[in-house]
């Protein structure tokens, strides 16, 4: 059983839901990212997504786009992100997952990249521009190195849900709404329906992301999903407070986690 599956099983046994926090690695620098991640873990985050910055993140809204550019301007490289993960592994046990686009992985070399993931203790990877049709590109390599290749489900997935869920590993990432990442105020009306389709197709845990930022949204989504994914709201704190962001992120994640405990 993978580290991710174990984490979700433990959360479920406590009758809780997972909080998954995202940060762009190296924004504004690697030390700040480490501090933010450790603060999230202390505040009760159950899984952390670390963005490997990419020059052209087409699935991201303005907040995370800007974070990618800040991280690259600060000289962040794939190798340095591996170093960040290796350092974190001495301090925290919760699953760590990359989010990046296919080109930096392709450029590093698939075999070398996933071997390195395994060596530093990374648990999974989310690649927004690698849909079901192209998964064979990486599937075998990722699996051989014990890295869960996380599948995304969109509001438009419809009949694709069954085939996607059938090949998924770790957990399923349900994209709450159309469009790119970024804070929105409502919970899309179609979300319960999408979750129903996913539940019918798999027993894997299901986490929801895109647009979520408020405790109220977290509370609502926690009722129907196994996890809540928050990116832009945390990245916004990194943007605003820079190297002092960790304490703000701690308070924010704590508030979200508490809201998710309310039934």
Partner 1 sequence: MRTGRFGAFGGQYIPETLMNEIHALERAYEHCQNDPGFRAELNALLRDYAGRPSLLYFAEKMTEALGGAKVYLKREDLNHTGSHKINNVLGQTLLAKKMGKTRVIAETGAGQHGVATATAAALLGLECEIFMGREDTRRQSLNVYRMELLGARVHPVTSGTMTLKDAVNETMREWVSRTHDTHYVLGSVMGPHPFPTIVRDFQSVISLEARAQILEKEGRLPAAVMACVGGGSNAIGMFYHFIPDAGVRLIGCEAAGRGLETGRHAATIARGEPGVFHGMKSYFCQDAEGQIAPVYSISAGLDYPGIGPEHAHLYQTGRGEYVSVTDDEAVEAFAFLAKTEGIICAIESAHAVAHAMRIIPQMPKEESVLLCLSGRGDKDVAAIARYQGVDLHE
Footprint on this chain of partner 1 (rule: CB under 8 A): 54-56, 58-59, 61-62, 65, 69, 72, 77-78, 102-108, 128-134, 151-158, 160, 164, 175, 178-180
CB 93, min distance to partner 1, A = 29
Q: Which is nearer to partner 1, 64 or 230 (CB)?
A: 64
Q: Which is nearer to partner 1, 59 or 92 (CB)?
A: 59
155 DSSP 8-state letter = T
Q: Which is nearer to partner 1, 102 or 120 (CB)?
A: 102
Nearest 5 degrees, angle CA 173-CA 226-CA 146? 55
Q: With residue 172 as reference, give the H or E element that holds it.
A: strand 172-175
The dihedrals phi and psi of 49, each to the nearest 5 degrees, come to: -100, 130
CB 76, min distance to partner 1, A = 9
Name which of 135, 104, 48 is nearest 113 in CA terms. Answer: 104
CB 130, min distance to partner 1, A = 6
Q: Which is nearer to partner 1, 62 or 192 (CB)?
A: 62
CB 125, min distance to partner 1, A = 15
Q: Which is nearer to partner 1, 84 or 154 (CB)?
A: 154
Helical H segments across the chain, by residue range? 3-13, 30-42, 62-73, 78-89, 102-108, 110-120, 139-144, 160-166, 191-201, 215-224, 232-241, 245-261
Those residues whose C-beta lies under 8 Å from the C-beta of residue 42, and which sit 6 or more positions away, are 250
Burial class (CB in 10 A: 0-12, 13-18, 19+), 121: middle
CB 136, min distance to partner 1, A = 10
Length of the chain as a residue count: 263
Q: Which is nearer to partner 1, 28 or 104 (CB)?
A: 104
Helix (H, G, I), strand (E, B) or coil at 76: coil
CB 261, min distance to partner 1, A = 30
**Contact in structure between 221 and 212 (CB atoms under 8 Å):** yes
CB 247, min distance to partner 1, A = 30
Q: Which is nearer to partner 1, 13 or 136 (CB)?
A: 136
């Amino acid at each position: 059983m993978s580290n991710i599956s174990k984490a979700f099983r433990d959360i479920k046994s406590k009758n809780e839901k997972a909080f998954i926090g995202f940060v762009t690695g190296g924004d504004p620098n690697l030390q700040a990212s480490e501090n933010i991640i450790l603060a999230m873990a202390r505040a009760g985050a159950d899984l952390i997504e670390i963005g490997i910055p990419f020059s052209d993140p087409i699935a991201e809204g303005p907040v995370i786009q800007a974070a990618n550019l800040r991280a690259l301007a600060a000289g962040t490289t794939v190798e340095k992100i591996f170093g960040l993960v290796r350092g974190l592994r001495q301090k925290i046990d919760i699953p760590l997952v990359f989010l990046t686009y296919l080109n930096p992985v392709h450029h590093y070399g698939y075999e070398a990249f996933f071997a390195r993931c395994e060596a530093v203790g990374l648990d999974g990877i989310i690649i927004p521009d690698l849909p079901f049709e192209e998964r064979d590109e990486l599937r075998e390599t990722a699996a051989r190195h014990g890295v869960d290749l996380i599948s995304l489900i969109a509001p438009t997935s419809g009949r694709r849900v069954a085939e996607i869920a059938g090949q998924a590993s770790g957990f399923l990432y349900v994209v709450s709404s159309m469009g790119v990442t970024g804070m929105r105020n409502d919970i899309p009306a179609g979300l319960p329906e999408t979750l129903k389709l996913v539940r019918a197709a798999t027993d894997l845990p299901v986490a929801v992301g895109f647009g979520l930022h408020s405790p109220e949204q977290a509370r609502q989504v926690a009722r129907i999903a196994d996890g809540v994914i928050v990116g832009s709201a945390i990245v916004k704190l990194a943007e605003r407070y820079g190297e002092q962001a960790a304490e703000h992120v701690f308070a924010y994640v704590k508030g979200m986690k508490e809201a998710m405990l309310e039934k």
